[in-house]
Each structure stands twice: as C-alpha cells, then as structure tokens.
Structure 1
Amino acid sequence: MKFIIAKKLEMSQRFKEDGTVVPVTLLTAEPCQVTQVKNADQDGYEAVQIGTEPDKHPNKPEAGHTKAAGQAFSVLKEFRVPSGAFKPGDVIDVGQFEPGDYVQVIGTSKGKGFQGVVKRHHFAGGPASHGHKDNLRMPGSIGSGGMQRVFKGLRMGGRMGGEQVTVKNLQVVEVDKTNHVLALKGAVPGARGTLILVSGDAKEKQAWR
C-alpha cells in the first residue's frame, strides 16, 4: 500500500500523445517520515503514523512521541496499512507512486458559510410570479398542523462545506520526483493549500464498498 501526506497546489492540464487534454490537480508532497508503527498485539490494529512539516518548537509530549523518529512534526496522520515493513525514521516520498496508479484522496471541502436550501439542498424554489414577491428561495412548509413538530433531519438552511470528503479512483498522471509533485486526473476536494491524504496502489478502478 502506497500513502503520503500532500497539499493541494492548483489545477492544470496535461496532453496525451494523441493530443487529448487531461485535467489534473497538482499536489505537492514533501518527503514524510514514519513517527510510529502500530501493531495488532500492542495497539489492537496495524497502522503507520507519518509526519510532515518539521516542528522547531515542540512541547515535551510531542518531542517524546517523535523521539524514535529523531524529529518532531506539526502534522501527524495515520494510515491503516500492514505495518511490518516500516520502522520509525523511514522516509516516504512521491517516488513510490507510478503513472497509472489509482489512488484515494481525503480532504476538507471548501467552506461556503451559511447557505439556504436552494444552494445547499438543490431545492427548486417557489414561483416567481402571481403574488409571490419575497419567497422565491424559501423552503416552504416544514411540517403539518396535525403533528406539531419539526422532524429531525429535515432539510433546511445551514452551514455548508468544510466537511471531510473522500474521492476514490483518481488516476496518477505524472510523478515529479525532483519537485515532489503528484498530478492526479480530475478534481480533489478543498481549496489551495488544503491537506490531502493520498493512499492506494491499484492498477485499475476499485469498486465502492
């Protein structure tokens, strides 16, 4: 299993040999370091924790936790992968990925703030004529008179975006080992600079489970 912590850089495009344009999202992924290896006997499951963005001023708990790796990091993330082949201090970079790999990405979507039902839930809105002057984008009735309550889960206006989003089956188009850049086909959730977790090494699209 291949995995790394990256940051969203920007969107771009690449051209195939036949001239077809491929939209890609560029991710910058500096080399990460293994900070902790979890196993089933001690932790109940297998996982590998890696860190990026060295922390120059860690507190004592942070320094103690990453002592085996020899470096404290401000960003620590865990991947559920078989941990037998890793040890603290190992370096993980983009060189492990190859063009053609299908990966899964996890990021935080763009925050939209408080939005109404038309934008948030794709309501059609009310009629724009025949006396309707100020309720075009209102939700309409939220309940009946016979049951005097608003049921849980009713779609209403509220905060939109800023949620964890997982996208599967994004194909690796290009790997720039010198500049630590990954080019993935398609869109990746989040704004520029968003932290992205990349994992997977499938050679073909995977079914959703």
Structure 2
Amino acid sequence: MTQIFDENGLVIPVTIIQAGPCIVTQIKNEKTDGYCAVQVGFGEVAENSLQKPNLGHLKKIGAPPLKYLTETRLKQNTDVTLGQILTVSSLNVGQKVKISGKSIGRGFAGNQKRHNFTRGPMSHGSKNHRQPGSIGAGTTPGKVIKGKKMAGQLGNKQISIKNLNIVHIDVEKNLLVLKGNVPGKTGNLLKIHPM
C-alpha cells in the first residue's frame, strides 16, 4: 500500500497490484464438464519445478510451465479463447472490481484478540484475567453448542472486497492501482473480478 495525490491535492490511499500476464489454460463447458468455467495460469517457472501431469496439461495448449492454476466459474461461455493472454489492458480507469484472496494468518488466538471479548477483573485474588469463562449450561444440554465463540485459528480465510475503484493502470509493467486495501500481505495471490 501507498498513497497518491489527485488533481485537487487530496491524499488517496492505494494498493499497487502486479496483475498478470495470465494465460487461459482451459475452457470448460456444459457438454463436456457439466458446468462453465475458465482455468487461468500465472507465474512462469522452470520445467523441473512442476509435476508431469501439470506439464502435460500445459504443453497441450503450448503454454509455458506455470506455477499457479485457478478456475473461475461462469454463468455462460464468454469470448475468451484457449491460450489467450489476459492483461490489465482489458480493464479501464474508474471501473470497479472485486478482489478475492486469503487474509493474513495470525495463528491460534484467544477470545480477546479473536472475538473482542472483555477480560476478567485484574484485581488481587481474581484468577480470571483472559480465560473464556462459562461455555455452556450443565446437565441440560450437557454439551457445548455449535458455533460457540472460542479461541482458535484467526485469519488465513478467503475474503472478498467489493467495489474497489481502479485509479491508474500501467500496461507496460502490468500494474493495477486500486483505491483502498486488499486482503492478505505483500506477495499474496489475488483474484480480480471485473464488476
């Protein structure tokens, strides 16, 4: 993330994303696969870093070895072709996009950090500072009810942020400048959905 200034001198918080180039590696349709989807590859790597089935799949269409393959479902087949290279040139400044990706993983976290619970009294004699407290009734129902907010994994979940404005596009370097923040940390893999 960084910030830029607009024509009026106002500061705009932006995120710079390297978007592509991505290659269309497979097109699925109702007849053969039972649903419509497009598989896209990104991140060229050396041949010996991929398994043979993946290499064969990519060699069929004449694509270089790609580290990441992802599939996006479609309502109907679009005008994309096999082997087509997708770049930021298909997007426009001012257009809104949806960004999906994994949020930052914060490991195993307690109730205060994960669910914003209050702590117990800190006075002398209290032995309940950061404990969860009661987690359910006794004999009836005799179990912890599903969905109870407790300590556990915080972050590292798939998150989508909608309606992010495109502020600037650099076609030569495949850079996309979006107003606002995106999920995850630096180097995270993101999906860009035009809206």
The letter for the 2-side match of 1:27 is: I
- CA distance in 2 between partners of 1:44 and 1:20 (Å): 50
- CA distance in 1 between partners of 2:101 and 2:29 (Å): 26
Match 1:143 to one of 136, 140, 143: 136
Aligned length: 190
Counterpart position of 1:185: 179
Q: Percent identity at matched positions?
A: 43
Deviation digits for residues 144-196 of structure 1 (CA, Å, limit 9, x no counterpart): 22323222221111111111111111111111111111111111110100000
Alpha-carbon shift at residue 23 of structure 1 (Å)? 0.5
Alpha carbons of structure 1 residues 60 and 146: separation in structure 2 relative to 1, 3 Å: closer
Counterpart position of 1:16: 6
Matches within 5 A, 1:1-209: 11-57=1-47, 58-71=50-63, 72-81=65-74, 82-129=76-123, 131-132=125-126, 134-147=127-140, 148-200=142-194, 202=195
Tell me, which stretches of 5 or more residues in structure 1 are unaligned?
Answer: 1-10, 203-209
TM-score for the superposition, normalised by structure 2: 0.90
- CA distance in 2 between partners of 1:138 and 1:199 (Å): 42
TM-score for the superposition, normalised by structure 1: 0.85
SS of the equivalent of 1:42 reads helix
SS of the equivalent of 1:76 reads strand
Deviation digits for residues 32-88 of structure 1 (CA, Å, limit 9, x no counterpart): 111001112212222111101123223331122123431231101112234341221
- CA distance in 2 between partners of 1:87 and 1:67 (Å): 16
Alpha-carbon shift at residue 122 of structure 1 (Å)? 0.8
- CA distance in 2 between partners of 1:135 and 1:104 (Å): 43
Q: Is this contact kept in 2: 1:108–1:190, CA < 8 A?
A: yes
Alpha-carbon shift at residue 140 of structure 1 (Å)? 1.0
Alpha-carbon shift at residue 89 of structure 1 (Å)? 1.0
